[in-house]
Chain A
Amino acid sequence: DAKTTQPPSMDCAEGRAANLPCNHSTISGNEYVYWYRQIHSQGPQYIIHGLKNNETNEMASLIITEDRKSSTLILPHATLRDTAVYYCAVMNTGFQKLVFGTGTRLLVSP
């Protein structure tokens, strides 16, 4: 299964864009990249996923490099409520399970 690597923590000022990187250099051609976030004591919340094209929804944008070895989750205008642990995960070949990394703890400050 492909592994993901993320920085353990990041800070962002409220109202600014938060750019969270993820390395998945061993990803296979048909494995998807997923992003979830988790607020303390709650279950992970789905944010976005993609295969090779950039994706955008009401929560965030996902930028995947052309070689697919890394991706960036962008929260365009971070708010205090975006403070959470953000997990990058890879959907394994066969679409059976998500393989999560150890996550990035994002702190959004006023």
Chain B
Amino acid sequence: AQTVTQSQPEMSVQEAETVTLSCTYDTSESDYYLFWYKQPPSRQMILVIRQEAYKQQNATENRFSVNFQKAAKSFSLKISDSQLGDAAMYFCAFDMDSNYQLIWGAGTKLIIKP
């Protein structure tokens, strides 16, 4: 069975600094998709970034980028120039090819210090 592990229950970073959130996963599949979702206090789930496993190039989205290490089954999220609005729970999620569900990590609470 596929599992997703986020080992950092909470992280804090100074505003304007860079922070990296870690995520590892376990699967025997070769084709899959990885996501980072953000959940602010409103509890709305918002996509931050998506990575396709067959792509070697790391996905980037403005201040958000990932370090995807397929062999190590690692998918970390880097947030550059952290802003107060980045404060939220961040969930890593895994989607197997032709599968119908997202498998979620436990989440990391990100605190931004002004």
The answer to whether A and B interact is no
What residues make up the interface of A, taking CB atoms closer than 8 Å to B? none
What residues make up the interface of B, taking CB atoms closer than 8 Å to A? none
